[in-house]
Structure 1
Amino acid sequence: REVFGPVLIQVYGTTETGVLTMLAPHDHDRAHTRTTVGRPLDPDALSIRHPDTGTPLPTGETGEICAIPRWPIAGYWHDPHATTALRRHGWTRTGDLGYLDTHGYLHLAGRLADMMKVKGIRIHPETIEKALAQAPGVSQAAVFGVEDTDRVEHIHAAVVAKPDTVLDLARLRRHIADTLSDNHVPTTIDIRAELPV
């Protein structure tokens, strides 16, 4: 603050919902809150819901961020399908993933459209990327879903080793299984000199 002046207020919202949360200037001073997008302006108008069923999820569980906007939009221009998909059970769907912590702060976790559905379970690639990046010897990781000829989605990963490191694929798979679950283990892990752009 001494160098750059006052800290700005950070807000989160969408075009369809307007502003939903605010991270106040004093929240930037605390390590556990500065990585969030703040607290809901109206806690009763924001809900974390299961992406498939629309049922509310408990504190700490990641799901789709849904809201009851103060000024709901009428719909999307000439797109009745998107307008219908926008709302469920009276809530407007943002398409964003996140969770509320025990202090009421909203943490963003990605986009619903980026999720993979593997063995009937929704898996976010970023979760696996973070776990791979924490594995010994890994410098970078990218995870993505690829459908086979039967339209079944499989997890694939590309990793870059730290200099002078030889990666063991079995250890990487075990690290993912131990850190996350067996369902998060990529079908293939490709070791590369650099990640494709």
Structure 2
Amino acid sequence: MNVKDLRPRARTILKWNELNVGDTLMVNFNEENPGKRGFSYDAEITTLKTISRTKKELRVKIFLGGSEGTLNDCRVIFVDEIFKVEKPGAHPISFADGKFLRKNDPECDLCGGDPDKKCHTCSCHKYGEKQEPNMQLLCDECNMAYHIYCLNPPLDEVPEEEYWYFPCCKTDSSEVVKAGEKLKMSKKKAKMPSSSTES
């Protein structure tokens, strides 16, 4: 690919008074959870309203890219992080451009991916410690991680089995489906992620 055809990284934040209906720009949007931080998408402004000095409403048509099409009437939460779409061939980024940080969805909604903060969601579910990630097991049922030495009883080494389940998630023998039987669903299992698949 020729360098003149490459679009440089977005670096110019647009102020509210620089926006107009019909403009194409780059916004942060979360497709799965519109109330939270997501990823950067090209978008076209469809609605622009100033409700009060501090409250603004921006609705856009999101361009998903390629054959994926568009998402219509999407409300942009982060109206202070609207980026200009750079034209191909623009000068490369240098220190003269200043800070041009673009934020993406954090690794964890609770701790924001902070390595020094304890978190029971993205780290060891029992104690929240983040050290020794290579000693953590991920439960194939609840998707929570556990250090092998935090388990009861603790394990000496990471098991080689393809699937591993935390003891409270392990299927009890009364729920095992025998050949020719239909899948049974207990109240506990109905709430687990595996209930949405038939495997």
Output the TM-score relative to the length of structure 1: 0.23
- Relative contact order higher in (CA < 8 Å, ≥ 6 apart): 2
Rg bigger for which structure?
2
Structure with the higher fraction of residues in helix conformation: 1
Structure with the higher fraction of residues in strand conformation: 1
Output the TM-score relative to the length of structure 2: 0.23
